Amino acid sequence: PDGDEEYTPQPRLNFKQLFVKEVVTDRPKVDLIKENLERIEYEEGNKLKPRVILADSILEGLCAPWKEFFVVKLLGKNIGFTTMHDRLARAW
């Protein structure tokens, strides 16, 4: 470029946005601990074993984009759609 144009980085897309072509919107940053939406507990008081407890509303927000997705790990093997469909139908 000429050097006159200002560079504007493209927003990062998550997995769902790549496939659904969803518009990216910036979310405000929130301190979840200050807002009492998250807390950290330690198993048996051991700081090497933290557990992060999220409020239900936060967990729902994190899970919402994945509600309509089904992820299958095939251990690096090629498998046809019909074969996969039949195996999943038998498994359920």
Instruction: Classify residue 40: in a domain, yes or no.
Output: yes
Instruction: Classify residue 21: in a domain, yes or no.
Output: no
Q: What is the pLDDT of residues 64-88, one digit of tens each?
A: 877 777 666 666 777 777 888 888 8
Beta strands in the chain (DSSP E): 38-42, 50-54
Instruction: Classify residue 1: in a domain, yes or no.
Output: no
Q: Return the residue matching tokens 């048996």.
A: 44
**Cα atoms in the 13 Å half-sphere on the side-chain side of 60:** 4
Instruction: Classify residue 22: in a domain, yes or no.
Output: no
Instruction: Classify residue 85: in a domain, yes or no.
Output: yes
Q: Indicate whether this model's pTM tops 0.85.
A: no
Report residue 37: phi and psi, to 5°.
-105, -5
Dig out the tokens for 13 from the structure.
């897309």
User: Could you list the pLDDT tens digit for every one of the 92 residues in the chain?
Assistant: 455 556 566 677 776 666 666 555 677 888 988 999 999 999 999 999 999 999 998 888 888 877 777 666 666 777 777 888 888 888 87
